[in-house]
């Protein structure tokens, strides 16, 4: 049946190549245009366009590409700009949850009540092939009395009376546990103990009750999690345990309603229908398709140049000058685990320019888990855009969503006191993008794209030690010492140098160990 929901974007959604400049014949004039094969990325794009054009009223195109060619208009007197990118831009509160669906990830949707967070999550469930009524029924509503049994199921009362041991108790597991898309509404209203049970499910893929275990991650296939919360600052009925918070791959802000689209809302009120009940069947992803989609996304290459930029960015944040005595211990994590205020320790560093040292803007570094997430979502958005490999813009686009709540601002940094940047304290997404851009500018200014001595030393080492003569090893050891001496001679040290120095020491040790072995063999 055709209705106002049923129109799906025509394939291909990306521009096709120009017509051939040679090789056409008269017979080609009478061949029908080949039907574009709907690849999985094409299907995901069509799903996105259906969601953003039909299902969710979200005219906020904040994930932009091609910033170098965008037109900018200053607005008001507070430094606001409206940018009009030439390349396609996307609405983050649809795109990011959709990417979480594509990679089988965990997405936190934040925003005030009535902003479509749950609707969007339900749509993801329907996209995964579940009937809309089931998806709605399986939404777990966070509330202060939610127990572990409420969440996962109860032991059968008959067994509780008759069982001689825990092993004899049968648990009536809730059916939502094995769904491909799991939705937890208002997770910051769930009691701490129940949050811990949730953490086991999210992190380990199983749940335990009365010594019985049930796997929640599908044996074959992909599962995605959607959490909603109306507060991201630690509020809510119960504070969210940090470990659960850390498991959120991406955090995305649900936008408000744009009043210029009230006519669509009126139509929905009059029709009394819901988008999830009208998802076109051709957009539903089968289990096999989802598995293939994850494989394709993971396989997308990250070119060396992009990886190097990301390395440089990530390397800025772990180091803090007065964090410890030994060089390797001068990290924010050492300070934080000692129960000290990282902001104060950063403040104590009078030797470096806090404006230049990007690491001074954060109170922590980027964890391995977060970094993996950033890489995975950069691959996902690159694949979604039809790229053959990950570009710097793909990474940049995902930075605010993958690092939000993970890379935390240092509130005592002078930047946040200036009038021009005051708003960045509330707008983490813009601050994170700004950090990434500033890191890129430093990378270019330091000409690391042309000359990367530490990278060259690492590449040389990665060629292997087999057959390397003692003289060559000694020569390389001298080069490493010379490099460290150069960095030492500068007199100041920034976060960006920390990883390089640790890597240089690593190389030095590997070479000297090898040299010891070589010399030992001779004796």
Partner 1 sequence: MIARAHHPVNQGGVRSEPALPVVPGLDLALSVDNVARFGGDPRRYVWALTAALAADPGLAPSRDAMLAVTSVAAWRAGVLGIRADALTWLPQLRPDVAGAVLGLPADALRAFGSGQAVDRFYWPLRPVESTQPFARLGGFVGLGGPWEFPPTEPVTEGPGRWTVLVGTARWRLEADLFGHLLGPVGPAVPPSPGAHERITAQLVVRPTSFLADVVPWRSA
Question: Looking at 18, 165, 450, 462, which residue binds partner 1 (CB under 8 A)?
Answer: 18
User: Does 10 participate in binding partner 1 (rule CB under 8 A)?
Assistant: no
User: Does 17 participate in binding partner 1 (rule CB under 8 A)?
Assistant: yes
User: Does 25 participate in binding partner 1 (rule CB under 8 A)?
Assistant: yes
CA atoms within 13 A on the CB side of 25: 1
Q: Residue 395, SS3?
A: helix
Site for partner 1 in 183-212 (CB under 8 A): none
CB 155 within 8 A of CB 174: no
Instruction: Please give the helix or strand (H or E) that residue 183 lies within, else none.
Output: strand 181-185
User: Does 35 participate in binding partner 1 (rule CB under 8 A)?
Assistant: no
Residue 20 or residue 164: which is nearer to partner 1 going by CB? 20
Per-residue contact string for residues 49-68; x = within reach of partner 1 by CB under 8 A = -------------------x
Q: Got the DSSP string for 195-260?
A: HHHHHHHHHHSEEEETTEEEE-S-SSS--EEEEEES-SSS-SSSPPPHHHHHT-SEEEEPP---GG
Q: Among 20-28, 76-84, 182-190, 241-249, which window interacts with partner 1 (CB under 8 A)?
A: 20-28
Q: Report d(CA 177, CA 187) in Å as an integer.
A: 16
Question: Looking at 69, 237, 486, 509, which residue binds partner 1 (CB under 8 A)?
Answer: 69
Q: Among 27-35, 192-200, 426-434, 495-503, which window interacts with partner 1 (CB under 8 A)?
A: 27-35
Q: Name the minimum Å distance from CB 69 to partner 1.
A: 7
Q: Report d(CA 316, CA 323) in Å as an integer.
A: 15
User: Does 489 participate in binding partner 1 (rule CB under 8 A)?
Assistant: no
Burial class (CB in 10 A: 0-12, 13-18, 19+), 373: buried
Residue 89 or residue 120: which is nearer to partner 1 going by CB? 89
Q: Name the minimum Å distance from CB 21 to partner 1.
A: 5
Sheet arrangement for strand 224-229 = 140-141, 181-185, 224-229, 106-110, 250-253
User: Does 464 participate in binding partner 1 (rule CB under 8 A)?
Assistant: no
Per-residue contact string for residues 274-313; x = within reach of partner 1 by CB under 8 A = ----------------------------------------
Q: Among 19-27, 101-109, 231-239, 311-319, which window interacts with partner 1 (CB under 8 A)?
A: 19-27
Q: Among 14-22, 188-196, 211-219, 350-358, which window interacts with partner 1 (CB under 8 A)?
A: 14-22
N-terminal to C-terminal alpha carbon distance within the chain: 86
User: Does 513 participate in binding partner 1 (rule CB under 8 A)?
Assistant: no
User: Does 419 participate in binding partner 1 (rule CB under 8 A)?
Assistant: no
Q: Rounded to the nearest 5 degrees, what angle is found at the Cα of 373, between the Cα atoms of 199 and 358? A: 115
Q: Among 12-20, 89-97, 157-165, 275-283, which window interacts with partner 1 (CB under 8 A)?
A: 12-20
Residue 208 phi, psi (nearest 5): -130, 140
CB 332 within 8 A of CB 318: yes
User: Does 33 participate in binding partner 1 (rule CB under 8 A)?
Assistant: yes
As a dihedral over the C-alpha atoms of residue 118, residue 120, residue 122, residue 126, rounded to 10 degrees, the angle is: 180
Burial class (CB in 10 A: 0-12, 13-18, 19+), 281: exposed
Total number of residues that touch partner 1 (CB under 8 A): 19
Q: Among 18-26, 90-98, 138-146, 155-163, which window interacts with partner 1 (CB under 8 A)?
A: 18-26
Site for partner 1 in 342-381 (CB under 8 A): none
User: Does 28 participate in binding partner 1 (rule CB under 8 A)?
Assistant: yes
Question: Looking at 1, 2, 10, 22, which residue binds partner 1 (CB under 8 A)?
Answer: 22
Residue 308 phi, psi (nearest 5): -65, -40
Q: Among 15-23, 185-193, 277-285, 305-313, which window interacts with partner 1 (CB under 8 A)?
A: 15-23
Burial class (CB in 10 A: 0-12, 13-18, 19+), 350: exposed
* Interface ranges with partner 1 (CB under 8 A): 17-33, 68-69
């Amino acid at each position: 049946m055709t209705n106002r929901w049923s129109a799906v974007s025509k394939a291909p959604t990306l521009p096709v190549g120009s017509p051939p400049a040679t090789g056409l014949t008269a017979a080609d004039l009478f061949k029908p245009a080949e039907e574009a094969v709907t690849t999985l990325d094409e299907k995901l794009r069509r799903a996105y366009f259906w969601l953003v054009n039909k299902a969710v009223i979200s005219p906020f195109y904040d994930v932009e590409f091609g910033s170098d060619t965008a037109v900018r208009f200053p607005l008001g007197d507070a430094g606001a700009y409206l940018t009009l990118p030439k390349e396609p831009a996307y609405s983050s509160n649809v795109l990011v949850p959709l990417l979480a669906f594509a990679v089988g990830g965990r997405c936190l949707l934040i925003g005030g009540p009535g902003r479509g967070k749950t609707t969007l999550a339900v749509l993801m469930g329907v996209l995964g092939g579940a009937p809309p009524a089931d998806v709605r029924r399986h939404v777990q509503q966070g509330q202060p009395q939610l127990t572990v049994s409420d969440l996962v199921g109860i032991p059968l009362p008959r067994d509780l009376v008759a069982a001689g041991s825990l092993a004899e108790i049968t648990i009536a597991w809730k059916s939502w546990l094995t769904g491909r898309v799991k939705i937890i509404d208002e997770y910051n209203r769930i009691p701490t103990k129940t949050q811990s049970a949730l953490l086991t499910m999210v992190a380990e893929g199983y749940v335990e009750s009365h010594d019985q275990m049930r796997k929640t991650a599908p044996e074959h296939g992909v599962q995605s999690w959607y959490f909603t919360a109306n507060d991201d600052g630690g509020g809510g009925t119960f504070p969210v345990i940090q470990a659960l918070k850390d498991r959120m791959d991406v955090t995305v802000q649900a936008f408000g309603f744009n009043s210029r689209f009230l006519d669509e809302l009126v139509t929905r009120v009059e029709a009394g229908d819901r988008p999830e009940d009208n998802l076109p069947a051709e957009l539903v992803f089968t289990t096999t398709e989802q598995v293939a989609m994850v494989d394709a996304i993971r396989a997308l290459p990250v070119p060396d140049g992009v990886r190097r930029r990301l390395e440089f960015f990530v390397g800025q944040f772990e180091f803090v000058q007065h964090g410890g005595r030994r060089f390797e211990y001068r990290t924010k994590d050492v300070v934080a685990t000692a129960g000290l205020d990282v902001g104060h320790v950063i403040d104590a560093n009078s030797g470096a320019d806090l404006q230049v040292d990007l690491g001074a803007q954060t109170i922590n570094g980027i964890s391995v888990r977060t970094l993996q997430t950033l890489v995975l979502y950069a691959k996902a958005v690159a694949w979604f855009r039809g790229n053959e490999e990950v570009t710097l813009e793909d990474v940049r686009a995902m930075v605010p969503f993958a690092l939000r709540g993970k890379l935390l601002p240092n509130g005592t940094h002078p930047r946040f006191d200036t009038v021009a940047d005051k708003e960045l304290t509330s707008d983490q997404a813009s601050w994170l993008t700004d950090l990434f851009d500033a890191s890129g500018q430093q990378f270019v200014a330091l000409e690391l794209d042309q000359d990367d001595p530490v990278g060259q030393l690492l590449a040389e080492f990665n060629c292997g030690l087999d057959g390397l003569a003692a003289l060559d090893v000694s020569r390389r050891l001298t080069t490493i010492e010379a490099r460290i001496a150069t960095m030492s001679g500068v007199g100041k040290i920034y976060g960006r140098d920390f990883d390089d120095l640790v890597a240089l020491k690593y190389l030095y040790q590997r070479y000297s160990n090898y040299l010891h072995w070589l010399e030992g063999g001779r004796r």
